Amino acid sequence: MILSGYYSQQYLLYIFAFVIIMIAQSSVQRAYNRYKQIRNEKGITGKDAARMILDANGLHNIPVEVSTGGSLSDHYDPVHHVVRLSSDIYYNTSIASIAVAAHEVGHVIQHKEHYGFIAIRNRILPVANIASQLGWVILTIGLFMFVSTPVVLYIGLSMIGVVLLFQIVTLPVEFNASSRAIKQLQSMHMINEDEKPYVKGMLKAAAFTYVAAVLATLAQILRILLMILGNNRRNND
């Protein structure tokens, strides 16, 4: 059975994946806790910031609603064409509120302008959803069946590869949405030069979670490949 052949590199990759995700989650939570305490000078709520940017870009038909998903559940729903903001972001006048709200509206503008990476991500999304749900299950089964039926492991590994591809394509989408957010907030005079670094700090912390997800998935794939190579070496000895 392939599980019997762990190397120290495999442990290190597993630990790396775990640590990088913990750091990313801690980083965004710290940034959010910090910037939600800082009121923006204009006293603009997240809901108002989103509404103003949408209207300025001719997106009057896109509603802004309160998300029922709890803290940091903010997102743009391209299926129902609605921006959903968590209650803290929706109602508060903090730097975090307008930064997150503007970022989500950045995604709306991406769809309006048919931003290239959005189109690619949307094509991958259905397959990535299935792969993320089944990939690790099939991979785990494949580890136990590797000697008799190695194809199962390779199918699982391929599915995780699709997840990694989706995560990589997501990076420019998120970075671009943050860039659009800062430009919109500045051009519409919702923030001043003193507030700009705070907005950037909030958005950079959020973006790091996507970078961490890519690194963690890549580390897990490398760990499985090392296990396969180690098993093949033992079989050839």
Q: Which pLDDT tens digit goes with each residue over 87-99?
A: 999 999 999 999 9
Task: Name the residues annotated as catalytic.
Answer: 104
Nearest partner of 177 among 201, 198, 211, 204, judged by Cα: 204
Per-residue pLDDT tens over the stretch 51-83:
999 999 999 999 999 998 888 899 999 999 999
Provide mean pLDDT across the span 150-163: 91
Residue 4 has pLDDT above 80, yes or no: no
Range of the domain at 223: 2-236
> Measured between alpha carbons, how far is 187 from 162 in angstroms, rounded to an integer?
38
**DSSP type of residue 44:** -
Question: Comparing 15 with 10, which gets the higher pLDDT?
Answer: 15
* Cβ neighbours around 111 below 10 Å, total: 16
Higher pLDDT among residues 105 and 153, named by residue: 105
Task: Please report the pLDDT score of residue 226 as a whole number.
Answer: 82
pLDDT over 90 at 233, yes or no: no
pLDDT digits (tens, 9 = 90+) for 26-44: 999 999 999 999 999 999 9
83: β partners? 64, 76
For the chain, what is the domain count?
1
Percentage of the chain beyond pLDDT 70 is: 91
How far is Cα 187 from Cα 101, in angstroms, rounded to an integer? 16
Predicted model pTM: 0.87
Containing 74, the helix (H) or strand (E) segment is: none
Q: What band does 8 get if pLDDT is binned at 50, 70 and 90?
A: low
Q: What is the pLDDT of residue 127?
A: 95
pLDDT surpasses 70 at 237: no
- Contact, 73 vs 209, CB < 8 A? no
